[in-house]
Every structure is written in C-alpha cells, then in structure tokens.
C-alpha cells in the first residue's frame, strides 16, 4: 500500500490546500485603471479587498501541455454603480481557452472578443462557461454575498493585463434599477 500517495493538493470546503498553492489578493488600491467611475474610486478605501485567487500550479508557468486550477473569491460591493470585478485579461498566448464554473453566489462573466464585441454570461452555483481563445474575460459579483468560481486553464496561457488596463472592455457592467446591465463605456 505504500506506493499509494495522497494528492498533493485538495479542495476542502471553500479553500484550496497543499504546497503548490499560490494566493493573490487584489485590493481597491491595486485596481486603479479598472473601474470607470474615478471619483467613486477615489472615495473607496484603498485597503478594501475586492477579490482573492487561490491557484494550484502543479507545473512551472509556461509549460506547454500542463493545466492550472484556481478558485476566485469576489467580495460583494460596487465602485459607483459598477460591481466589484476582476482586472480581466486576454491570455498572452491568445488562442488558449479556459473553463470557469460557478461555485457560490451570483455574478456575470464578461467576455470581449478581439473585435471588442462584449457580452456576458450569468454565473451561479453549477454554471459552466467555456471561454474561447482570443476572448478577454473578467467576472463581476452581482449578488449580496461572496461570488466564488473555479477555473482551469493551460499552464502556458499567461496573462495579458495591459490591453485591458489601457483600453478596458468596450462595455461595463453596472447596476440600474437594482439589476445588472451592460452599457457602453464612456
Ligand atoms: C482566472 C483569473 C482570476 C482573477 O484564474 O486569473 O479570476 O482574474 P484576473 O487574473 O483578471 O485578475 C483566469 O482567468 N486565469 O487564466
Ligand atoms: Zn484566464
């Protein structure tokens, strides 16, 4: 029996455990160019946590043929009318695809293709989302509790954050009459 090993990482309750887990915390202060209402952004405490990501990286970043696994936890909240959301990115190797799936809470997966056409998919516990290559992706928490979702992506995909921090998505997700809607970015 001693050739049978426990897995090196596990998913227990809401958390990833193990020794190859990477944790990232993103606070308001790290998201300067992300939210469109700069006045409301300036009024929000820079120390407020917007989201955290726990990733299991079993191979070296950049390895061709491997996979990464992550769980993202987005706090409920808004900057102005815009929901708390992730920075968003294209993959550095642009054709690399990804799966997302909803675990808890409610939200929207906002997608933008290379022609800057933007649309969104509803996220809820059990929702499953295929993100095609060449498609920028970000998630927003539209509920009153934490939104968490799983992700699986190729270990050579990389993240291109620059195009999004410079030009954003062509549409933003805001609350209007209590409902999330996508509107053109001014
Ligand atoms: C996800 C994201 C995670 C955080 O694991 O990296 O949700 O979003 P940002 O990376 O845009 O800050 C993923 O899409 N990985 O490829
Ligand atoms: Zn991604």
Q: Counting ligands in written order, which one lies closest to the CA of residue 55?
A: 1
Helices (H), 9-161: 38-42
pLDDT confidence tier of residue 13, bands split at 50, 70 and 90? low
Q: Where are the beta strands (DSSP E) in the chain?
A: 9-12, 15-18, 21-27, 49-56, 67-74, 78-79, 82-83, 98-104, 107-112, 118-123, 128-131, 136-141, 147-154, 171-176, 179-184
Give the Cα separation of 147 and 93 in Å (integer).
27
pLDDT band at 2 (very low <50, low <70, confident <90, very high): low
pLDDT at 117: 97
Ligand 2 centre to CA of 133 (Å) is: 10
Domain boundaries, the chain: 18-184
Indicate which ligand has the atom closest to the C-alpha of 51: 1
Atom 4 of ligand 1: nearest residue by CA position = 86
pLDDT digits (tens, 9 = 90+) for 36-87: 999 999 999 999 999 999 999 999 999 999 999 999 999 999 999 999 999 9
- Which DSSP state fits 93? S
Kindly report the length of the chain: 186
Please tell me the distance between residue 1's alpha carbon and the centre of ligand 1 in angstroms: 39
pLDDT in tens, 112-154: 999 999 999 999 999 999 999 999 999 999 999 999 999 999 9
CB 142 within 8 A of CB 173: yes
pLDDT at position 17 is: 86
Over residues 85-92, the mean pLDDT reads 98
The CA 100 to ligand 1 mean position distance, Å, reads 10
Closest ligand 1 atom, residue 138 Cα: 11
CA of 153 to the centre of ligand 2 (A): 7
**What CA–CA distances, in Å, run from 40 to 79, 88, 116?**
6, 20, 26
- Spell out which residues line ligand 1, taking CB within 6 angstroms: 53, 70, 72, 86-89, 98, 137-138, 151, 153, 157, 159
User: 59-76 burial, b if ≥16 CB within 10 A, otherwise e?
Assistant: eeeeeeeebbbbbbbbeb
Enter the CATH code of domain 18-184.
2.60.120.10
């Amino acid at each position: 029996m001693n050739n049978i090993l426990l897995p090196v990482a596990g998913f227990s309750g809401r958390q990833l455990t193990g020794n190859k887990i990477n944790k990232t915390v993103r606070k308001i202060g790290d998201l300067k160019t992300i939210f469109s209402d700069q006045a409301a952004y300036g009024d929000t405490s820079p120390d407020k946590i917007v989201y955290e990501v726990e990733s299991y990286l079993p191979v070296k970043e950049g390895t061709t043929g491997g996979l990464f696994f992550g769980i993202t936890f987005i706090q409920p909240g808004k900057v102005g009318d815009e929901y708390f959301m992730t920075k968003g990115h294209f993959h550095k190797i642009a054709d690399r695809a990804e799966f997302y799936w909803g675990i808890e809470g409610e939200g929207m997966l906002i997608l933008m293709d290379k022609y800057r056409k933007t649309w969104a998919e509803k996220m809820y516990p059990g929702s499953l989302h295929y993100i095609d290559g060449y498609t920028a992706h970000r998630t927003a928490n539209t509920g009153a509790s934490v939104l968490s979702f799983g992700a699986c992506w190729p270990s050579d995909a990389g993240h291109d954050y620059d195009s999004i921090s410079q030009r954003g998505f062509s549409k933003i997700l805001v609350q209007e009459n209590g409902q999330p809607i996508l509107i053109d970015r001014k």
